[in-house]
Amino acid sequence: MSGLNLAQQEAVNYMQGPCLVLAGAGSGKTRVITHKIGRLIQTGVAAKRILAITFTNKAAAEMRERAKSLIGREAKEVVICTFHALGVRLLRQDGEALGLKAQFSILDSDDVTSILKDAGGTTDAATARQWQWAISLWKNMGLNAAQAEAQAKDDHERVTARIMARYEERLTAYQSVDFDDLISLPLKLLRDHEAVRRKWQELLGHVLVDEYQDTNATQYELLKLLVGDKGRFTAVGDDDQSIYGWRGATLDNLRRLPQDWPNLKVVKLEQNYRSTSAILRAANNVIQPNPKLFPKTLFSELGEGEPVRVVDCDNEEHEADRVVARIQSIRANGMGKEWKDFAVLYRANHQARIFEQALRKAQVPYKVSGGQSFFDRAEIRDLCAWLRLWVNNDDDPAFLRSITTPKRGIGHTTLQNLGTFAGKYKLSLFAALFSSSLGSVLPAKAVGSLHEFGRYVNDLEFRARRTEGAEDARAFLTEWLKDIGYEKHLYDSEESEKLAASRWTNVMEFCDWMAQRCGGQIDDTAGVSITSDKKNLLEVAQTIALLSTISEREKDQNVVTLSTLHASKGLEWPHVMLVGCVEGMLPFKLDDDDGKKGQANESILQRLQEERRLMYVGITRAQRSLAVSWTKRRKKGREMVAAQPSRFIAEMALDKATVKEDPREKLKALRAEFAKKSADAAAASAAAAAAGTP
């Protein structure tokens, strides 16, 4: 119980029924979850009967670390994962009841786009992605194609709903699920199959959910079925930090909790342990204009601290220079020592580039968090397609990618005919390939090459299943890549040798990564696997699809973090710089593309409120210092246009006397940096002299 205040202790000690911890940023909500895991184990709940749900895989990994240091080895057994990883677990174990085989494939967003192109008869990716978006929202609301069509408001929606029906047929045929299915299918499973539901309800002793404000309707339904009538769960959240409404998250989940659970215990936390009073005041002021779902107060005992600064810049390059200068000056005056104490936060991914350039020029180490994931790289996706095909022969998208990468002389027409044939007999492409009547639609030579491919895949699958341990898996992967000539394929298809070489390095890294998991050295596969038993390659391959969403493979490096505001949720840094705070960026453009009359005002207002919460999230990431910067001019397409400071800067209601950062800061920083360098150099040569080396 040490390190918890009274309200936190109350939440941690209450185990008999549903509990909601509702509190502002930095008040120790996540800490309550970690400590409660420990407390539950202490009172005799078996670790494997505890389920903690986090918002990202990275947060899951972090929570596991904290739990480990709190309760030791037993923490390994606790299931800590995202809703999606939980969905995979449920479906792999019990999906058979839905007609899903245990080796089903998980499609990524690109696979979905191409299936939709096919289902909707278009070659235009943008159109397909619009359908994808709409279908995803429907699925998150718990609607199937028929229900979506029934509630469609116009022809466009009706058409989309019909395409959804065809899309769903294809997924079933491919024994594949998309990301939304990872929530909606487990929901269906528990809802329609009493035995399965009972099994899970008996298994789970307590369920804890972090970032509850960003759950969507289906996730809440799933939670309800998991915990049953006893309702042994703990949800923690902050309505002011709900920033995923655009993806279907709904604050209704918070609103409904007290109604659905009349015996709900609500705990409010009021002390913020993260930020100074100056920072907290700015945060409270910003969020003030939003309607209050639950009124909250938040105070800090960390002292007033440095005033929040507003940095006026001419343009983005200037802004980037000033960010670098600020980092250097804070380091020089001893307020922050480590690079990892700093974060630069922005609204949209593309804003990172200019800051990257400036940091590189100044030789400041950094990482871009939430950028392109390792698993999104073409070469890794190539390999994953092969692995998916071994695990699930019916995965048609994986089949098509494998059979054409690298090219093996099987042409488009052959594949098209195979596709038509498979469609006619309702077979997967792989099953169709071995059909005895395939010869009636394809020349013998084509059938021959298809058979060769099919046999090769069967052989690989057979051998992958028999790998034992890391070394064996590595040897197998190496041989396979040599067999298919993947390295040569990279060098043939890349324009520059340098690029090909870097792709090949990624491939090697991927093989290492797989091998380590086969050896059981790594047991945190994003919360999917909790044992450290050795696994064969096929078992490891089954968990990969899920990882493809993680961009966070990074270790705890000592570098400056560049991150979007969305990806910064739940995290904290001593020094935060919120950049690009201009109208049109933050709040993000509110006016265009929203033509629907009548609804427009309401939806603009809601979006503005969500942007304001985003600003609140950004401000509350800072522990000791916060600077907010804006540019007088900004790029809009190819043009430079005049820009206005974000309305949120005014809403922070900062003290006019202290607000502006001194423009001479840069000069001072350079001087200080120079002084520090000379001092370091002097110290180094003194040390060298003392050690007797020249």
Query: What is the torsion angle, in degrees rounded to the nearest 10, for the CA atoms of residue 305, residue 307, residue 313 and residue 318?
Result: -20
Amino acid at 549: T
Which is catalytic among the residues 211, 472, 524, 661?
A: 211
> Out of 12, 19, 20, 30, which residue is the one contacting ligand ATP (CB under 6 A)?
30
Residues 605-644, mask of contacts with ligand ATP (x by CB under 6 A): ---------------x------------------------
Least Cα distance to 518 among 460, 462, 461, 477 occurs for 477
Helix axis angle for 486-493 and 497-518, nearest 10°, is 150
Q: Which is nearer to ligand ATP, 163 or 283 (CB)?
A: 283
Token pair 């180490």 is at which residue? Answer: 365
Q: Residue 237 touches which of ligand ATP, Mg ion, none (CB < 5 to 8 A by kind)?
A: none
635: three-class secondary structure by DSSP: strand
Helix (H) or strand (E) holding 20: strand 19-23
Residue reference for tokens 């037993």: 74
Q: Which stretch binds ligand ATP (CB under 6 A): 25-33, 493-501, 513-521, 601-609?
A: 25-33
Pairing relation of β-strands 560-564 and 366-368? Answer: parallel
Residue 576 binds ligand ATP, judged by CB under 6 A = no
Residue 169 CB, nearest approach to Mg ion (Å): 41
Candidates 23-31, 142-150, 302-310, 633-641; binding stretch for ligand ATP (CB under 6 A): 23-31
* CB-CB contact of 118 with 583 (8 Å): no
Please pick, from the candidates 12, 18, 26, 56, the single residue that binds ligand ATP as defined by CB under 6 A: 26
Residue 516 one-letter amino acid: Q
Is 289 one of the binding residues for ligand ATP (CB under 6 A)? no
Tell me the number of residues near ligand ATP by CB under 6 A.
Answer: 18
Binder among 139, 232, 274, 340 for ligand ATP (CB under 6 A): 274
Give min distance, CB of 24 to Mg ion, in A: 11
Residue 680, C-beta contacts closer than 8 angstroms, at least 6 positions apart: none
Check if 64 is active-site. no
Determine whether 211 is an active site residue: yes
Fill in the per-residue mask, 543 to 572: x = in contact with ligand ATP (CB under 6 A), - = not in contact.
---------------------------x-x
Query: Whose Cβ is closer to ligand ATP: residue 430's or residue 648's?
Result: 648
One of 11, 25, 86, 116 touching ligand ATP (CB under 6 A):
25
Q: Spell out the residues 6+ positions from residue 574 whose beta carbon is closer than 8 angstroms to its own.
A: 335, 336, 341, 342, 622, 623, 624, 625
Q: Which of 8, 30, 219, 467 is catalytic?
A: 30
By the rule CB under 6 A, 299 interacts with ligand ATP: no
Q: Which of the residues 132, 241, 351, 542 is marked catalytic?
A: 241
Q: How far apart are CA 223 and CA 208, in angstroms?
A: 10
Identify residues 204-263 at the interface with ligand ATP (CB under 6 A).
238, 241
Q: Do the beta carbons of residue 44 and residue 252 sit within 8 Å?
A: no
CA separation (Å) from 396 to 20, 378, 441, 454, 529?
A: 44, 18, 19, 13, 26
3-state secondary structure 502-545: HHHHHHHHHHHHHHHHHCCCCCCCCCCCCCCCCCCHHHHHHHHH
Interface with ligand ATP includes 5 (CB under 6 A)? yes
User: Is residue 531 flagged as an active site residue?
Assistant: no
29 included as an active-site residue: yes
Quick check: 8 binds ligand ATP (CB under 6 A)?
yes
- The residues assigned a catalytic role are 29-30, 210-211, 241, 621
Interface residue list for ligand ATP (CB under 6 A): 3-5, 8, 25-31, 238, 241, 273-274, 570, 572, 620
